[in-house]
Amino acid sequence: MAEISTIARPYAQAIFSLAKEQETLAIWLDVLTLMTGVIENPDIKSFIQDAKVLDSDREKTLLKIFGKDVDDMAKNFIMLLIENKRLMILPAIKLAYEKLKADYEGTVEAEIIVAAEPDKKAVDNLIKSLEKKFNKKIEGHVTIDKSIIGGTKIIVGDTVIDDSIKGKLENLAYALKA
């Protein structure tokens, strides 16, 4: 079977093209996030994956759940995914859409890993510095990981900037073994 990301990509590209044309990129991201959250609910997921459930029942149930939270275009998209037996790749479609949106807007995600909760001003200053360094708009996500002991570890795409105490200790241990 083809890789999920390969199957998801055309759906994401179609939504992205539509959203770009209608200037609704952020709205579609919210819709995909909502839809993904719903189908990842364990009860909904088992219902969707139950072979005894008819597609028409899946459609009715999901459209009832989404109600007025999504427009007709999004409802049609859900029906298309059900019809093509692709509903469970919705998380991969969302990921592919996020990447297309970020590339289009020139944004890059940065994971900022710290040992303790940082103050907002420090995070904002760090993001501004990263934007200068990478010459792109940075969308930062802070993760608390006490195992790094102290300092900061930043992951932007394939670049890792490790200024954590744990990273420094690992480098020291490696240097001493050499």
**pLDDT tens column, 125-176:** 999 999 999 999 999 999 999 999 999 999 998 899 999 999 999 999 999 9
Query: How much is the pLDDT for 178?
Result: 77
Q: Residue 78: how many CB atoms within 10 A of its CB?
A: 22
Q: Which amino acid is at 104?
A: Y
Report whether pLDDT(1) > 60: no
pLDDT surpassing 90 at residue 42: yes
The domain made up of 4-103 has a fold known as: Peroxidase; domain 1 (1.10.520)
Q: How far apart are the first and last CA of the chain?
A: 45
Contacts of 168 (CB under 8 A, 6+ apart): 151
Please give the biggest Cα pair distance in the chain.
65
Q: Is 142 helix (H, G, I), strand (E, B) or coil?
A: strand
Strand order, beta sheet including 107-114: 137-144, 107-114, 151-156, 159-164
Give me the chain's average pLDDT, please: 94
Q: Please give the pLDDT value at position 67.
A: 86
**pTM of the predicted model, to two decimals?**
0.73
Q: Where are the domains of the chain?
A: 4-103, 107-177
pLDDT in tens, 90-101: 999 999 999 999
Phi-psi sector, 136: left (phi>0), alpha (psi -120 to 50), beta: beta
Pick the CATH number of 107-177 from 3.40.50, 1.20.1070, 1.10.260, 3.40.30: 3.40.30
The C-alpha angle with vertex 117 and arms to 114 and 122, in degrees rounded to 5, equals 80
101 or 67: which carries more pLDDT confidence?
A: 101
Percent share of the chain, pLDDT over 90: 92
CA distance 114 to 99: 25
The pLDDT assigned to 68 comes to 86
Q: Angle 83-8-15 (CA atoms, 0-180°, nearest 5)?
A: 80
Pair of tokens at residue 59? 């459609």
